Structure 1
C-alpha cells in the first residue's frame, strides 16, 4: 500500500478552491501515482480558533436598600422654578374664575369691601397652602416611594384650580340675584 502524502505536501501543491468553481482534475503527486480529486470543495484539516477575550465585570455591591438587582436610589434633584410653572394655566384659569365670582359677590353686598377683600385673600392663602400640600404629597409618594421623576406641577395646579372654582361657585351661591336667575333658568326645563 502506498504511503499517503502528509497534509503539508497535499496543500502546498493545491491552489485555493472555490466552492462554485469547476471540479478539479486529477493531478500527480511528486513521487507517486495521480491522486483522484476530492469531491468536497473544502480541504480537511484543523480550523483556527481565536481565543475569547475575557470580559471583566464589576461585582455586585449590596447597599442594603431596595430590591435585589435594583440600582441605587435616585439622588435628590435640584429645585427649579420652571417645574412649578408647568401646568400653571390651570391655576390661572381657576384664579380668574374665582376672582370674577368674588367680584360679583362683593359688588352685590351693600357693605364695606374690607371684609370681602379679607375673604378673598384668605381664599388665596388656602389655595396656596393646598398647592404646597399637593407638591409635598407628590414628592413623598411619587418621587420617594415610586422613584418617579416629576417634570412639572400639573397635578398640583389642577387640584388648586378645582378648589378655586369651588370658591367661585360658593361666592355665586351667596349672591341673591344669581341664585334667582339660576332657579329661573332651571325652572324653564
Structure 2
C-alpha cells in the first residue's frame, strides 16, 4: 500500500507491462502534426417519424440538420446590404425636399406623402424577401446569406420615386429641358 501521508496527486501506481497491450495501431492516413479535416460525419439527428392523417407512420422529410437561428442572426442578415436602401432613401428624401419646398404651401400633405411612400418601400422590401424565400430557398434549394437583393430592389424603387418627385417640380423640368436642348 502506498504511503497515505503523501497527497493523492503525488501517489503513483506502477503496473507491470502486459503482453498484447500497447500503443493502438494508427489509421493508415495518419500523419503526425496534421489534423484530419473534411472527413464525412454521421448525422447527429435522426429523422422523426410522423403520423399522417391515415394513421400510417412515415418518415418526416423536413431538414432536420438545419439549426434554429436566434433573432439577432436574422436581424444581422437583414442589415447586410442596407447601404443600398439607405442611399435610395437619401436620394428620395432630397428629391422630395426639393419638390416639397417648391410647392410653397403647407408641408402636412407632402410629409404624409413621403411617409406613405416609405411604407410602400418597406412593403416592397418585405415582398422581395418573401419571394426570395419562396423562389431561392424553397424552389431552388439555395441558402440566402444576406438581404442585398431585396435592398437593391428597394433602392431602385426609391430612386424611381425621387425621380418622380423631381418630374413634378416645374423649375427642375425646365432646367433639364434647357440642359438637354429640348
Partner of 2:157: 163
Partner of 2:113: 119
Q: Give yes or no for the alignment of 1:93 onto 2:93.
A: no
The structure that has the greater radius of gyration is: 1
Report the secondary structure of 1:110's partner residue: coil
Report the secondary structure of 1:152's partner residue: coil
Partner of 1:110: 104
Q: Give me the CA root mean square deviation.
A: 2.3
Q: Which runs of 5+ in 2 are unaligned?
A: 1-41, 48-57
Q: CA deviation at 1:73?
A: 7.0
Structure 2 Cα separation of the partners of residues 96 and 74 of structure 1: 41
TM-score if structure 1 supplies the norm length?
A: 0.60
Query: Is the 1:94–1:165 Cα contact (8 Å) retained in structure 2?
Result: yes
Partner of 2:135: 141
Q: How many residues align?
A: 124
Q: Which runs of 5+ in 1 are unaligned?
A: 1-57, 67-71
TM-score if structure 2 supplies the norm length?
A: 0.62
Structure 2 Cα separation of the partners of residues 75 and 92 of structure 1: 32
**Cα displacement string for residues 78-119 of structure 1 (whole angstroms, at most 9, x for unaligned residues):** 351100010011001000000000000000002210000000
Partner of 2:174: 180
1:46-85 mapped onto 2 (5 Å cutoff): 63=59, 75=66, 77-78=68-69, 79=71, 80-85=74-79
Report the secondary structure of 1:111's partner residue: coil
**Cα displacement string for residues 7-38 of structure 1 (whole angstroms, at most 9, x for unaligned residues):** xxxxxxxxxxxxxxxxxxxxxxxxxxxxxxxx
User: Once superposed, which parts of structure 1, at least 4 consecutive aligned residues long, lie more than 3 Å away?
Assistant: 61-66, 72-77
